Amino acid sequence: MFSKEHLDFLRKNRKRKITIILVQILIVLTFLIIWELLSYKEILNPFLYSAPSKVFNTILQLFISNNLLEHIAITLYETLISFFIASFIGFIIASIFWWSNFLFKVFDPYLTILNSLPKVALGPLIIIWVGASTNSIIIMALLISTFISILNIYNAFSSTDKDLIILMKSLKASKYQIFFKVIVPSNLRNIISSFKINISMSLIGVIMGELLVSKRGLGYLIMYGSQVFNINLTITATFILGIISYLMYLIINKLDIYIEKKQN
């Protein structure tokens, strides 16, 4: 049985979480209501800034025409493929760099340079090398997310409690044992945190790729809407993109909470 103090703490914590969610919902609703009113009163030009009601109608039209789910599915597929590949590569290379500090010192400046390159400028080259296809979109996303993943995971590995490593060495543990018994378990939440960034970067990369080459996906809808000056379509695709981004972040955050409970 839990003590009265512990039950009070759980009750307050639950109440605080509910309050946070309600305030978040209130902020969104307030923004949408103000936006709708400003558009209705034509304080904001509805042709240029659209309105929540027009966004909703555009979603219905896309859904009825059977295009909406296809565009969402394409963007999700490309994002998840990019995310898993980038996360896998990031973990493997970060592990190699932790294993050999010499290799990290050698490649550190190259990682910094590659990470700072404007990836959009490489878009035309990627299209020439790979072709205007899904592959070029995934490569664009990988260029944006992989290097960040490597650096974040390596920094997490490097910041592991040195006392734990010294203790393991005093017990004659091998480097293999230190890595799998200390480094990885100690940094599970840090790895998940890097995934939160990685999923966002993968989505950004996919949208950038779709803006350049795709004929399907939310990035294509954004580009097509801007080309034909259909602001409703552009804002609708951006709105859906925001919802997808939040849902993917929420899933990874749930994983983070689950690991935290397991560790505690």
Q: Which two tokens stand for residue 45?
A: 């030009």
What is the spatial distance between Cα 33 and Cα 52, in angstroms, rounded to a whole number? 8
Query: pLDDT tens across 7-61, in order?
Result: 677 688 888 888 998 999 999 999 999 999 999 888 888 888 889 999 999 999 8
pTM for this predicted structure? 0.85
Cα-based distances in Å from 75 to 4, 56, 192, 224: 49, 20, 22, 15
CB-CB contact of 177 with 170 (8 Å): no
Higher pLDDT, 205 or 257: 205
What is the spatial distance between Cα 185 and Cα 149, in angstroms, rounded to a whole number? 18
Query: pLDDT tens across 59-76, in order?
Result: 998 888 878 889 999 999
pLDDT above 60: residue 1: no
SS (H, E, C) 123-134: HHHHHHHHCCCH
pLDDT of residue 130: 82
Domain boundaries, the chain: 1-49, 52-263
Residues contacting 251, CB < 8 A, separation 6+: none
Say which DSSP state 237 is in: H
pLDDT of residue 206: 92
What kind of architecture, by CATH, is found in domain 52-263?
A: Orthogonal Bundle (1.10)
| Average pLDDT of every residue of the chain | 88
pLDDT of residue 6: 65
